[in-house]
Structure 1
Amino acid sequence: MGILKHSAAFPTVSGLPWTGVNYFCTTRQGGVSGAPWSSLNVGLHTDDDSAHVQANRLLLRARLPGEPVWLNQVHGARVFDADLPAEQEPGRLAVPPDADAAVTTQRDRVLAVMTADCLPVVLASADGSALGVAHAGWRGLAAGVLERTLLALRSRVPGNTHWRAWIGPAIGQRHFEVGADVFAAFVDQDGQAAAFFAEKIPGSKWLADLPSLARHRLHKAQVASIELSGYCTFSQPDMFYSYRRAPRTGRLVTVAWLGDAGQR
């Protein structure tokens, strides 16, 4: 189970300490939004009062060394380079870039992905020299968003062979029923992926273990150290938003940045 930390502002979930890497995922607690988004909703696209969302984002910003690099997540596999020249930085643009992952090698550059059942994944070199975050629903995961994030990171620090990953709160297998299209999207490209599907209705419905599918793919991509948070967003309504449990809901955010470990 991931580490739940409480502070005067709001509780967060994280994993084991990393050299040079700071990261956490918010819970739904500690914000200002009313029902059904109560209370720390950071998603501007959720029909919540935008003033409440902005107030929640200010609470988040107070815990960070800089403004987060927000993405317009589209359930794809595009990786955004968060170290682009200043005039191209998403924080200075009205519309964040369409992407489901971002990478950086700059200290205190805060990467962010929003989730409400999908996987938030933090990826970094073991020495803390390169960092990526990814939003991986089943579509993005099957399309290779994690592998593409690793490819982008490896191009930034050539020769670095030691990588770590943290897979944050997401929907658990017992609540993630999928059809033949999802089963085929993984198993047709990798027969070993069938081990992460429990057949519920023969040939028609399966229960998919999304975190384990991600861990499997990361292992194949030669990520040696992978930690799962152990939290299920669907089954813990007091702590997490879940789109599958209630489509009219808020969004969690996972943030990560390079710097001295222990700042979070």
Structure 2
Amino acid sequence: MTLEILTSDALAPLRHGFFTRRGGASSGVFAGLNCGGGSSDLSEAVAINRNRVAGAMGVKNDRLVTVHQVHSAAVAVIEALPETPLRADAMVTRQPDLALGVLTADCQPVLFADHGAGVVGAAHAGWRGALGGILEATLEAMEALGARRAETTAVIGPTISQRAYEVGPDFLDAFLSEDPDSARFFAAGHGDRMQFDLPGFSLARLRGAGIGQAAWTRHCTYSDPERFFSYRRSVHVGEADYGRLISTIRL
């Protein structure tokens, strides 16, 4: 099966892609293009998958850069290949021979670009990162490299949608204590449960930060098992582990 790569016109003409799980070498619960070295998948299969992604992005295998994601607001400025993966949840660069990649399985992959300034970024934004400011921090790091906020585009890739994202009262309180207006991103669920709109929240944060354009591809990871890995779905069906999708961008 060939690779399936979702793209956004908003990021054209830069080479980028939100890769689905199709077209990989992994099997079992990881079947397809699992690019997560932190999973219990065979390391050989993950290496093959990452090499296929690098090839699709037109870079050498070692030029596909990922970080050790920790649900933070830390951004790494990539000017050369790091010897070991950096602890961060976003990267920015102005180097043309590097592809920045983030791994997700319900959290948001967010690709950034100011094509005119020659600066790109990639962020892993779960609820903790989005609430903690990873999106704004990525914009600030891009500006430090010469990007212009009003000329920057950000596109959120496949992520868990509101209808699949059930949360409890403590989760809601964490957002309301930060900003009471965040209540608009929660819909009533069963009992005391709520349904959280993670991409809606993140789009509002990006637009509030003054970005030029922000969009979501409108793909839900939870509801499409043929195309996407999903941590929450794997828990609900009792799987022992789960694969990680990769999303990448380069100059």
Same fold (TM over 0.5): yes
Q: Which residue of 1 aligns with 2:43?
A: 50
Partner of 1:256: helix, strand, or coil? strand
Shift of 1:224: 2.7
Unaligned runs of 5+ in 2: 236-240
AA aligned to 1:40 is L
Q: Which residue of 1 aligns with 2:203?
A: 215
Unaligned runs of 5+ in 1: 1-7, 259-264
CA–CA distance in structure 1, aligned partners of residues 92 and 18 of structure 2: 17
CA–CA distance in structure 2, aligned partners of residues 27 and 156 of structure 1: 30
Q: Which residue of 2 aligns with 1:131?
A: 120
Partner of 1:244: helix, strand, or coil? helix
Partner of 2:27: helix, strand, or coil? coil
Q: Deviations over 1:57-86 (max 9, x none)?
A: 111121123321111001111000111xx4
Contact 1:9 / 1:59 at 8 angstroms: preserved in 2? no
In 2 relative to 1, CA 257–128 (structure 1 residues): closer, same or farther, beyond 3 Å? farther
Match among 4, 29, 36 for residue 36 of structure 1: 29
TM-score (norm 2): 0.91
CA–CA distance in structure 1, aligned partners of residues 139 and 58 of structure 2: 24
Q: Which residue of 2 aligns with 1:65?
A: 58
Q: Which residue of 1 aligns with 2:238?
A: none
Q: Which residue of 2 aligns with 1:4?
A: none
Query: Is residue 99 of structure 2 the alignment partner of residue 103 of structure 1?
Result: no
Q: Which residue of 1 aligns with 2:214?
A: 226
CA–CA distance in structure 1, aligned partners of residues 118 and 175 of structure 2: 31
Q: Which residue of 2 aligns with 1:254?
A: 247
Q: Which residue of 2 aligns with 1:79?
A: 75
CA–CA distance in structure 1, aligned partners of residues 132 and 28 of structure 2: 34
RMSD of aligned Cα (Å): 1.7
Shift of 1:9: 3.5
TM-score (norm 1): 0.87
Query: Is residue 224 of structure 2 the alignment partner of residue 236 of structure 1?
Result: yes
Quick check: 160-169 or 226-235, which moved more?
Answer: 160-169
| Aligned residues with identical type, % of pairs | 37
